[in-house]
Amino acid sequence: MSFQAYIDNIESKTGKSLADFKRMAEEKGFLINGKLAPSIKATAIVDWLKADFALGHGHCMALFAAFKGKTS
Protein backbone atom coordinates (compact mmCIF):
# COMPACT_ATOMS: atom_id res chain seq x y z
CA MET A 1 0.00 0.00 0.00
CA SER A 2 1.33 3.43 -0.89
CA PHE A 3 1.81 6.21 1.61
CA GLN A 4 -1.06 8.18 0.06
CA ALA A 5 -3.32 5.13 0.24
CA TYR A 6 -2.67 4.92 3.98
CA ILE A 7 -3.53 8.60 4.41
CA ASP A 8 -6.68 8.22 2.28
CA ASN A 9 -7.78 5.18 4.28
CA ILE A 10 -7.20 7.00 7.56
CA GLU A 11 -9.40 9.86 6.39
CA SER A 12 -12.11 7.44 5.24
CA LYS A 13 -12.04 5.56 8.55
CA THR A 14 -11.89 8.55 10.90
CA GLY A 15 -13.40 11.42 8.92
CA LYS A 16 -10.28 13.43 9.78
CA SER A 17 -7.76 14.79 7.30
CA LEU A 18 -4.00 14.82 7.67
CA ALA A 19 -4.29 18.52 8.55
CA ASP A 20 -6.76 17.62 11.32
CA PHE A 21 -4.34 15.05 12.75
CA LYS A 22 -1.48 17.54 12.60
CA ARG A 23 -3.58 20.11 14.46
CA MET A 24 -4.51 17.56 17.14
CA ALA A 25 -0.88 16.45 17.45
CA GLU A 26 0.15 20.07 17.90
CA GLU A 27 -2.47 20.49 20.64
CA LYS A 28 -1.07 17.41 22.41
CA GLY A 29 2.48 18.76 22.18
CA PHE A 30 3.67 16.09 19.74
CA LEU A 31 4.32 18.75 17.09
CA ILE A 32 5.79 22.18 17.66
CA ASN A 33 5.31 24.72 14.87
CA GLY A 34 4.41 21.86 12.54
CA LYS A 35 7.52 19.80 13.30
CA LEU A 36 7.83 16.68 15.42
CA ALA A 37 8.97 17.59 18.92
CA PRO A 38 12.50 16.23 19.52
CA SER A 39 11.51 14.18 22.56
CA ILE A 40 8.54 12.45 20.87
CA LYS A 41 9.01 8.83 19.84
CA ALA A 42 6.82 6.79 17.52
CA THR A 43 5.40 4.84 20.47
CA ALA A 44 3.70 7.94 21.91
CA ILE A 45 2.04 8.71 18.58
CA VAL A 46 1.04 5.08 17.96
CA ASP A 47 -0.42 4.69 21.45
CA TRP A 48 -2.50 7.88 21.04
CA LEU A 49 -3.83 6.98 17.60
CA LYS A 50 -4.66 3.40 18.55
CA ALA A 51 -6.46 4.48 21.73
CA ASP A 52 -8.37 7.45 20.34
CA PHE A 53 -9.02 6.36 16.74
CA ALA A 54 -8.64 2.54 16.74
CA LEU A 55 -6.10 2.79 13.91
CA GLY A 56 -3.84 -0.13 13.09
CA HIS A 57 -0.08 -0.01 13.51
CA GLY A 58 0.64 0.66 9.82
CA HIS A 59 -1.79 3.55 9.70
CA CYS A 60 -0.30 5.01 12.88
CA MET A 61 3.19 4.76 11.44
CA ALA A 62 2.02 6.49 8.23
CA LEU A 63 0.80 9.41 10.33
CA PHE A 64 4.06 9.41 12.31
CA ALA A 65 5.96 9.56 9.01
CA ALA A 66 3.76 12.46 7.90
CA PHE A 67 4.49 14.24 11.17
CA LYS A 68 8.20 13.75 10.46
CA GLY A 69 7.75 15.43 7.07
CA LYS A 70 7.20 12.53 4.65
CA THR A 71 4.84 13.61 1.89
CA SER A 72 4.83 10.65 -0.50
Number of domains the chain contains = 1
On whether residue 36 sits in a domain, the answer given is yes
Does a structural domain hold residue 7? yes
Give the integer Cα–Cα distance in Å for 30 and 50. 15
Question: Which domain range does residue 19 map to?
Answer: 3-67
pLDDT for the residue 72:
56
Question: Quick check: 2 pLDDT over 90?
Answer: no
Domain assignment present for residue 13? The answer is yes
If one compares 71 and 20, the residue with the highest pLDDT of the two is: 20
Give the Cα separation of 64 and 39 in Å (integer).
14
Residue 72 inside a domain? The answer is: no
Q: What is the pLDDT of residues 19-58, one digit of tens each?
A: 999 999 999 999 999 999 999 999 999 999 999 999 999 9
Task: Tell me, yes or no, whether 63 lies in a domain.
Answer: yes
**Mean pLDDT (whole number) for 2-22:** 94
Provide the whole-model pTM. 0.91
Residue 35 is assigned to a structural domain of this protein: yes
3-state SS assignment for residue 55: coil
